[in-house]
Amino acid sequence: MFSGDLPDTLREIGFFLAYSGSAKRHWLREGEQPLDFIREAVEQSLAAAGISKGAVDLIIYTGIARGFMEPANAYHIARALGFKKAECFDVVDACMSWMRSIHLCEALFHRERYNNVLIINAEFNMTGGDAVLPRVFQLKNREELGWTFPAFTLGEAATATLLCAEVGHPWEFHFASRPDLAELCNIPLKHYKGYCEPSDKIARNGENHFTSFGFELHRHARTEASAIFRQLACPHSELTSVFTHASSKRDWDLMARDIGVHEKVRHVYPETGNLGSASVPTAIAAATQSNALARGQKFAAWVGSAGMSFGVFAAEY
């Protein structure tokens, strides 16, 4: 079904994977389910904090991959994991979803509405649905790489982030949106045309399938993400770690070098691939397990997302 030089196109895919810093990607094995990894992540998170399920006031399910349009995925996760009284809702904002949830939780803590909040995401976009496989990998020609290559970088992961209300340690957040760039990365639903302006970039791979102009996304991110990071009042010298969206090691290294924090970036992209909204919490977990991030140290989380949106926050771990 391919029209053109297939070996040359495969070499080009390999080149761009290596160029971006990709070495490995992890996907579900046959027979494994996202819920298996959600359960493990939640149990580890609660055990590390010494908090029981009954003490969790709110569960937020966040991210791209999901099993339900209705109700919120958080309800089914809570039921499956034995959370009987926790409030539930979802937050959906592409790869920015986890950071949006963190920001929301901080605001809720200031209202003294909740004490313990569990943020769960399960980015299983390769094997957990049909947004990528098999259609997106069925290239018809080399040109399709322009809006398909990001799919070749995707990995899978589940994370659970437990936040506990504590006064006296404010977090600093900054966000910016570029809705004029919304057409660059989409998974459009069947009736999407009634909800947007016409665009020849949306649904290039068909309805319900991932279409992403990755090279354009990173070109815009180079300017916008750098600008948002520079808004941090927290002195960069006080940051021990910077955790980025795992969309490309090379591009985030370039942006970090522009700002002077490249030696502090803790990458997971080479080992995991692009984990969507699970990128930052996965990187934080890896850093704590390797003792690269310890209690009392300051860190920054830095994300660029479809939408497009850009965000950064600085906090004390």
* Helices (H), ranges, the chain: 6-20, 34-49, 73-81, 97-110, 214-229, 249-259, 269-272, 279-289
Which stretches does DSSP call E strand in 100-236?
Answer: 116-123, 157-164, 172-177, 185-186, 211-212
What is residue 91's predicted lDDT score, i.e. its pLDDT? Answer: 97
Is the pLDDT confidence value at 261 over 80?
yes
Q: Which residues contact 212 (CB under 8 A, 6 or more apart)?
A: 147, 148, 149, 150, 151, 184, 185, 186, 306
Q: Which residues contact 191 (CB under 8 A, 6 or more apart)?
A: none
Residue-wise DSSP of 203-216 = TTT-TTS-EE-HHH
Confidence bin at 169 (pLDDT 50/70/90): confident
Task: Name all domains of the chain by residue range, CATH numbers in brackets.
Answer: 172-316 (3.40.47.10)
- Three-state DSSP at 95 gives strand
CA 135 to chain centre: 22
pTM: 0.95
Amino acid at 281: P
Taking the C-alpha atoms of residue 6 and residue 139, their distance in angstroms, rounded to an integer, is 9
What is residue 146's predicted lDDT score, i.e. its pLDDT? Answer: 94
pLDDT tens across 109-153, in order?
A: 988 889 999 999 999 999 877 778 777 788 999 999 999 999 999
What is residue 136's predicted lDDT score, i.e. its pLDDT? Answer: 79
What is residue 191's predicted lDDT score, i.e. its pLDDT? Answer: 94
Is the pLDDT confidence value at 277 over 90?
yes
Taking the C-alpha atoms of residue 45 and residue 315, their distance in angstroms, rounded to an integer, is 19
Taking the C-alpha atoms of residue 27 and residue 103, their distance in angstroms, rounded to an integer, is 29
Taking the C-alpha atoms of residue 25 and residue 91, their distance in angstroms, rounded to an integer, is 25
Taking the C-alpha atoms of residue 285 and residue 241, their distance in angstroms, rounded to an integer, is 12
Taking the C-alpha atoms of residue 249 and residue 18, their distance in angstroms, rounded to an integer, is 10
Q: Give, rounded to a whole angstrom, the gap between the first and last alpha carbons of the chain.
A: 51
Is the pLDDT confidence value at 220 over 90?
yes
